């Protein structure tokens, strides 16, 4: 039997000033004496330690039975398990090192027919948790190559919620969520039988031990699990004798169990420091008197397995040591450390000295009097921790007598004067705040209780230990998971916004901000959610001007509420006069579509939301297609657990200053979890009643874009269209929520990565550049039209066609936005078709330039092409026309499916540019624009390389030019060919990811100015063009004499032919007065261009 003691009240002083905190760590064990005392009388009796131990299940582990029919370990029959839709399960287990089996179970919960509904085990696929026959594999929650169970006990906790589709796993001091969509809706039935190990002979049991099995009917978060102590008992199953039916053969007592007490002496135990106790040791310093510096000594750590994570028992020790000689404080430190270590060696109790403080002084009648070192008196303060449960007592007098009895071991120059030992008090029971009662709690222990009015949310409060004076004190209650405080605030807001209350813009904004804080910070149950929805409904009674300033925050808060509200069952709905909200649980693996609808309740002003039910007379309905989740990423697919539906009877929160059109219908919103749904294979069908009958309806289906107008939101028609079955009473919309389109060559079909500032700059560059390009393209074209001698050769004719295509491309682009503003569908389609045609024509003529250079330089003397320019024109203009004709013929006379008005220029803040007439169909864009140009680009790159090789090879033979002149000549040829062949259009292929913005700038600058660069390099810098300008456009000394011929004689040309070959490339003959290799054969003055009618190749 345990020894009984009479407690003696101590009158030890309260120590308020420490000169040092000394982490003193020493193992103490195996002292086989206990003491009875009364007042100052000492008595020694020899009692066996085993006679003093009352063994509880906390001190014993269970050897998992390998044969379920023999010595089965099961839950006691008196324990009834309720139906569990939520649970938290924690246990510790070890696995034998000799167990190589990969198919076992550690526990099983079954009904009377042995059908398993809950279990944990392992197969060759990995560790799993099974619920109602469905397995969720949990190995993703572990680091690579890690094991849940090893040769030492480690706690494992699993957390489940039947409507979350996920299992929380707390292992290796880390919390992870493992998404298991198949677990969705699975509930553990009640009144089953729980056994440790396997419940059948078909599957073996884990070859190991299990300990501290606890089960709760609510979920715990990661922070709660990290601070979970032994004092938190499972409210369904706990590791106590009354919960279990265990044969004696399966029990084994040990002294190193995490929640057990000392049973068997051990000589390899690590002492505890404040670091072991973590943040529960509060080293608060309240002293106002400065203290002199002291010496701090650290003792080495040793390995130990029974760390005091159950709080332990704490004792204050105060000792006064008298020194006969005037020793220094450091020597006193060393002496006290050695003496305390020797005193508690070989003791029966597992105790740890956590902190020690030594300073000169004395204690008289409970009052500290400061003394100098010369007084030779030192005061020692220490904190002792005893790692035990309540079934083994360690009285403070035993500690005191142990110290006194070892007084003789103190060196001769030291003398022990006084010894005082006091237990550190528990934090006393109190109610704080109202309705929250906290019982007496030991220091460093965290107490948990249900939130007021809830059987799910948990509140906690920790009893801390102050290291200044070794006293305990309560920390602040942690009510973050509780909602009743939020409910009080919400009720006040409900009264503030109730009927008859006049709300100003500032008051509405204040209410919205408070609701936002509640939604973001609190757990939202159905009751609190209903109050919040009602408050928003009250707010919607205000005028649009009052709501304008806070409308964006209000909408975002409503969306967050729908995403966060907790509910049980397949769905829930909240209906008020102006706002209705519905949430439905969905299973992503078996999703076959869903329907939401809202209609009026019978004889009521509120609305009702119906799920998966046809409502012919509904105010609004949303039909989600079965393919809704088809294109989601695996991560998004796994986290989907709900669909949200919101209906607004009043539209005051939807104010878009950029859209002058009137809103003539109710507003309905639908979303799936917190993910973005786009690129749908099938449309989402949305039917919305008009607020009043429309005699001549011209509706536009729009959705509210939260990112538009600098984050304030706005209407966006992108991806939505009006269905033909719409009428004057309702509009049927089909939306696919495609990505916003970009302009022309934006291959990502989006400009959402561009911020407002860069978007404005790019727009400015584009329009100014296109204007300049159009002017100089016209200048080039007029030059060659005006002077007949300039257009006698083939390259000049090709350049004229390219300039024509560029001129009309730039003009139509500049006029496109203005024409789109007239809102004339036929005109917009025509403009889009013309823009598409001239874009393709520009690409084609750039490709023909490359083909011509290849013929001119590579096939110089063996190729003659009959009707050369005619064939080029047929290809250059006919091929784009053929492409357009094929596209239009495929639309079945409905060109609006391919071409039409779209919104372009959306930036990162959500602001949209102007309407633009362009291609609406994604496939047409990528095939006929991106794909078509890709082919031409590859062709031009190949020709560019061939031409540059020819130029460099021929120029390299020249001996009359310096190296610098050769480099400059070749560089000029490269630049001129780059713009002529449209190489800069290739920047579009690199405008992806982090390089998007730089290449958008390069694309906009060089391509919008392409007409200018062609004019400079292939018109203004040509010698023969300059002569024509001087002859016909200049006067005075700049005018060229009429008798100066622009062409040279054949002799001079032959003389220059070698020099001019490198610079007479296509239209890029920079500074050349010669013609091209494929000039008309009738130009007899150009002898090197003449062709024989009997050449090898004729086309």
Tens of pLDDT, residues 420-471: 889 888 899 998 887 888 999 888 888 888 887 666 678 888 898 877 678 8
Mean pLDDT estimate for the chain: 74
Query: How confident is the model at residue 281, as a pLDDT?
Result: 47
Q: In the predicted model, is pLDDT for residue 858 greater than 80?
A: no
- Which residues 6+ apart lie within 8 Å of 811 measured at CB? 774
Query: How confident is the model at residue 370, as a pLDDT?
Result: 41
Mean pLDDT value of segment 541-548: 88
Query: How confident is the model at residue 1037, as a pLDDT?
Result: 63
Domain end (from 388, 423, 458):
423
Pick the closest to residue 973 from 1060, 1047, 1058 (CA basis): 1060
Cα(580)–Cα(596) distance, integer angstroms: 12
Query: How confident is the model at residue 489, as a pLDDT?
Result: 82
Residue 637 in domain: no
Q: What is the DSSP string of 884-953?
A: HHHHHHTTTT-GGGTEEEEE----TTS----EEEEE--HHHHIIIIIIHHHHHHHHHHHHHHHHHHHHHH
Host domain of residue 470: 430-474
Q: Which residue has the higher pLDDT, 311 or 648?
A: 648
Residue 732 in domain: no
Q: Which residue has the higher pLDDT, 741 or 869?
A: 869
Q: Say yes or no: 384 and 242 in one domain.
A: no
Residues 153-167: tens digit of each pLDDT: 989 999 998 777 789
Q: Say yes or no: 211 and 358 in one domain.
A: no
Query: How confident is the model at residue 13, as a pLDDT?
Result: 34
Residue 247 in domain: yes
Mean pLDDT value of segment 666-691: 82
Mean pLDDT value of segment 225-239: 87
Residues 379-400: tens digit of each pLDDT: 888 888 876 644 567 888 888 8
- Fill in the DSSP letter of residue 919: E
Query: How confident is the model at residue 170, as a pLDDT?
Result: 94
Mean pLDDT value of segment 823-850: 90
Q: Say yes or no: 449 and 340 in one domain.
A: no
- In this structure, the dihedral spanned by the alpha carbons of residues 236, 242, 244 and 247, taken in order and rounded to 10 degrees, is 170
Q: Say yes or no: 774 and 897 in one domain.
A: yes
Cα(222)–Cα(481) distance, integer angstroms: 12
Cα(81)–Cα(194) distance, integer angstroms: 9
Query: How confident is the model at residue 602, as a pLDDT?
Result: 66
Q: What is the CATH number of the domain that holds 1038?
A: 1.20.1070.10
The answer to whether the beta carbons of residues 553 and 516 sit under 8 Å apart is yes
pLDDT band for position 792 (cuts 50, 70, 90): confident
The answer to whether the beta carbons of residues 987 and 1010 sit under 8 Å apart is no
Residue 590 in domain: no
Cα(1046)–Cα(789) distance, integer angstroms: 9
Within 13 Å, how many C-alpha atoms sit on residue 35's CB side? 23
Residue 896 in domain: yes
The answer to whether the beta carbons of residues 379 and 318 sit under 8 Å apart is yes
Domain end (from 253, 287, 302):
253
Retrieve residue 283's tokens.
């080293």
Q: In the predicted model, is pLDDT for residue 374 greater than 70?
A: no
Domain end (from 405, 440, 474):
474
Pick the closest to residue 314 from 267, 276, 287, 270 (CA basis): 276
Q: Say yes or no: 70 and 110 in one domain.
A: yes
Q: Which residue has the higher pLDDT, 80 or 897?
A: 80
Q: What is the DSSP string of 447-510?
A: EEEEPTT-SS-EEEEEEEEETTTTEEEE---B-TT--HHHHHHHHHHHHHTSTT----HHHHHH
Q: Say yes or no: 913 and 1030 in one domain.
A: yes
Could you count the other beta carbons within 10 Å of the beta carbon of residue 449?
Answer: 15
Q: Say yes or no: 361 and 280 in one domain.
A: yes
Q: Say yes or no: 362 and 399 in one domain.
A: yes
Cα(501)–Cα(488) distance, integer angstroms: 19
Mean pLDDT value of segment 745-770: 67
Q: Say yes or no: 913 and 786 in one domain.
A: yes
End-to-end CA distance of the chain: 118
Residue with the two structure tokens 């302009």: 743
Partner residues linked to 448 by β-bridges: 460
The answer to whether the beta carbons of residues 571 and 677 sit under 8 Å apart is no
Q: Say yes or no: 766 and 876 in one domain.
A: yes
Identify the three-state secondary structure at position 566: coil
Mean pLDDT value of segment 988-1003: 73
Find the angle CA(588)-CA(591)-CA(596) to the nearest 5 degrees: 110
pLDDT band for position 902 (cuts 50, 70, 90): confident
Assessment of whether the complete model's pTM goes beyond 0.75: no
Q: Say yes or no: 443 and 372 in one domain.
A: no
Q: Which residue has the higher pLDDT, 863 or 191?
A: 191
Preceding omega of 972 cis (within 30 degrees of 0): no
Cα(6)–Cα(393) distance, integer angstroms: 12
Residues 213-223: tens digit of each pLDDT: 999 988 888 88
Give me the number of domains the chain comprises.
4
Mean pLDDT value of segment 993-1008: 77
The answer to whether the beta carbons of residues 978 and 945 sit under 8 Å apart is no
Q: Say yes or no: 388 and 337 in one domain.
A: yes
Query: How confident is the model at residue 397, as a pLDDT?
Result: 86
Query: How confident is the model at residue 834, as a pLDDT?
Result: 95
Identify the three-state secondary structure at position 548: helix
Residue 667 in domain: no
- Which residues 6+ apart lie within 8 Å of 202 measured at CB? none
Q: In the predicted model, is pLDDT for residue 319 greater than 70?
A: yes
Mean pLDDT value of segment 667-677: 82
Residue 14 in domain: no
Residue 165 burial class via C-beta count within 10 angstroms: exposed 0-12, middle 13-18, buried 19 and up: buried
Residue 631 in domain: no
Query: How confident is the model at residue 108, as a pLDDT?
Result: 94
**Alpha-carbon distances, residue 367 vs 17, 383, 1052 (angstroms):** 12, 20, 121
Q: In the predicted model, is pLDDT for residue 103 greater than 70?
A: yes
Residue with the two structure tokens 């002529």: 980
Q: What is the CATH number of the domain that holds 174?
A: 2.60.120.200
pLDDT band for position 696 (cuts 50, 70, 90): low
């Amino acid at each position: 039997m345990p020894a009984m003691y009479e407690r003696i009240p101590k009158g030890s002083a309260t120590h308020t000033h420490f000169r040092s905190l000394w982490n003193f760590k020493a193992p103490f064990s195996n002292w086989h004496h206990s003491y009875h005392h009364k007042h100052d009388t000492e008595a020694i009796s020899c009692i066996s330690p085993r006679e003093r131990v009352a063994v509880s299940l906390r001190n014993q582990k269970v050897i998992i039975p390998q044969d379920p029919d023999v010595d089965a370990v099961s839950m006691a029959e008196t324990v009834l398990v309720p139906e569990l839709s939520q649970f938290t399960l924690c246990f510790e287990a070890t696995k034998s090192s000799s167990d190589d089996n990969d198919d076992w179970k550690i526990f099983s919960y079954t009904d009377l027919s042995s059908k398993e509904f809950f279990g944990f085990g392992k197969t060759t696929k990995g560790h799993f948790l099974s619920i109602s026959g469905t397995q969720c594999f949990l190995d993703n929650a572990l680091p690579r190559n890690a094991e849940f169970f090893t040769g030492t006990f480690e706690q494992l906790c699993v957390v489940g919620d039947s409507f979350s589709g996920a299992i929380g796993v707390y292992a290796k001091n880390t919390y992870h969520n493992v998404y298991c969509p198949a677990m969705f809706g699975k509930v553990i039935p009640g009144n089953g039988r729980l056994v440790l190990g396997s419940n059948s002979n078909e599957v073996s049991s884990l070859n190991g031990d299990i300990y501290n099995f606890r089960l709760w009917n609510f979920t715990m978060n990661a922070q709660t699990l990290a601070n979970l102590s032994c004092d938190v008992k499972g409210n369904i199953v706990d590791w106590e004798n009354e919960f279990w039916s265990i044969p004696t053969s399966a029990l084994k007592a040990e002294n190193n169990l995490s929640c057990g007490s000392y049973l068997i002496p051990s000589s390899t135990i690590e002492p505890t420091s404040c670091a072991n106790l973590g943040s529960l040791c509060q080293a608060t310093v309240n002293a106002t008197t400065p203290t002199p510096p002291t010496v701090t000594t650290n003792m080495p750590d040793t390995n130990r397995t029974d760390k005091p994570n159950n709080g332990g028992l704490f004792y204050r020790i105060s000792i006064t040591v008298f020194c006969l000689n005037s020793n220094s404080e450091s020597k006193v430190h060393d002496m006290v450390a050695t003496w305390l270590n020797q005193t508690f060696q070989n003791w029966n109790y597992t105790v740890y000295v956590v902190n020690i403080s030594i300073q000169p002084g004395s204690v008289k009648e409970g009052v500290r009097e400061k003394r100098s070192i010369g007084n030779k008196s030192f005061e020692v303060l220490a904190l002792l921790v005893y790692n035990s449960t309540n079934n083994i007592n360690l009285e403070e007098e035993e500690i005191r007598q142990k110290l006194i009895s070892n007084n003789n071991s103190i060196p001769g120059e030291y003398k022990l004067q006084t010894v005082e030992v006091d237990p550190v008090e528990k934090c006393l029971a109190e109610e704080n705040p109202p309705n929250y009662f906290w019982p007496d709690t030991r220091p460093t222990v965290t107490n948990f209780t249900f939130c007021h009015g809830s059987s799910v949310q948990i509140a906690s409060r920790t009893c801390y230990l102050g290291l200044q004076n070794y006293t305990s004190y309560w920390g602040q209650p942690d009510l973050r998971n509780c909602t009743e405080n939020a409910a009080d605030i919400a009720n006040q807001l409900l009264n503030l916004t109730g009927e008859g209350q006049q709300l100003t813009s500032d008051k509405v904004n204040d209410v919205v901000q408070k609701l936002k804080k509640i939604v973001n910070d609190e757990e939202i149950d159905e009751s609190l959610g209903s109050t919040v929805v009602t408050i928003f409904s009250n707010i919607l009674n205000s005028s649009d001007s009052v709501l304008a300033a806070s409308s964006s925050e209000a909408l975002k808060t409503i969306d967050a509420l729908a995403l966060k509200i907790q509910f049980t069952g397949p769905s829930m709905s909240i209906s008020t006069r102006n706002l209705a909200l519905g949430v439905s649980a969905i299973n992503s693996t078996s999703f076959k579509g869903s329907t939401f609808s809202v209609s009026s309740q019978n004889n009521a002003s509120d609305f009702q939301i119906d799920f998966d039910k046809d409502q012919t007379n509904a105010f609004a309905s949303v039909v989600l297609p079965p393919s809704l989740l088809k294109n989601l990423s695996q991560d998004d697919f796994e986290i989907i657990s709900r669909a949200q539906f919101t209906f607004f009877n009043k539209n005051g929160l939807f104010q878009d200053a950029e859209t002058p059109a009137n809103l003539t219908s109710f507003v309905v919103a639908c979303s799936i979890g917190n993910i973005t749904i786009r690129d749908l294979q099938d449309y989402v069908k949305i039917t919305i009643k008009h607020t009043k009958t429309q005699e001549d309806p011209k509706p536009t289906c729009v959705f509210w874009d939260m990112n538009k107008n600098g984050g304030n939101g706005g209407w966006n028609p992108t991806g939505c269209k009006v269905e033909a079955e719409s009428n004057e009473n309702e509009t049927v919309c089909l939306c696919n929520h495609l990505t916003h389109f970009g302009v022309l060559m934006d291959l990502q079909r989006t400009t959402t990565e561009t911020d407002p500032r860069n978007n404005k700059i790019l727009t400015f560059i584009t329009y100014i550049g296109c204007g300049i390009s159009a002017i100089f393209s016209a200048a080039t074209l007029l030059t060659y039209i005006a002077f007949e001698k300039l257009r006698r050769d083939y390259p000049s004719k090709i350049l004229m066609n390219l300039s024509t295509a560029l001129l009309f491309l730039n003009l139509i682009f500049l006029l496109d936005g203005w024409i789109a503003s007239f809102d004339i569908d036929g005109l917009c389609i025509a403009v889009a078709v013309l823009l598409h045609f001239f874009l393709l024509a520009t690409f084609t003529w750039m490709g023909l330039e490359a083909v011509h250079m290849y013929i001119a330089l590579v096939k110089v003397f063996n190729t003659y092409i009959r009707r050369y320019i005619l064939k080029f024109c047929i290809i250059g203009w006919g091929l784009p026309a053929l492409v357009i004709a094929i596209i239009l013929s495929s639309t079945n006379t409905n060109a609006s499916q391919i071409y039409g008005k779209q919104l372009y220029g959306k930036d990162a803040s959500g602001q949209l540019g102007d309407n633009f007439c362009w291609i609406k169909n994604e496939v047409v864009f990528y095939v006929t624009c991106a794909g078509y140009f890709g082919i031409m680009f590859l062709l031009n790159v190949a020709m560019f390389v061939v031409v540059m090789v020819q130029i460099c090879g021929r120029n390299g033979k020249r001996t009359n030019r310096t190296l610098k002149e050769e480099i400059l000549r070749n560089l000029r040829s490269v630049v001129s060919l780059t713009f002529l062949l449209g190489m800069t259009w290739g920047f579009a292929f690199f405008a992806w990811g982090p390089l998007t913005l730089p290449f958008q700038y390069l694309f906009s600058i060089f391509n919008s100015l392409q007409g200018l660069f062609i004019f400079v390099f292939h018109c203004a810098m040509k010698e023969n063009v300059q002569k024509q300008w001087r002859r016909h456009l200049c006067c005075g000394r700049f005018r060229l004499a009429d008798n100066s011929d622009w062409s040279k004689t054949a002799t001079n040309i032959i003389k220059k032919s070698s020099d001019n070959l490198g610079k007479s490339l296509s239209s890029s003959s920079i500074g050349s007065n010669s013609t091209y290799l494929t000039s008309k054969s009738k130009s007899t003055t150009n002898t090197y261009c003449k062709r024989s009618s009997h050449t090898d190749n004729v086309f």
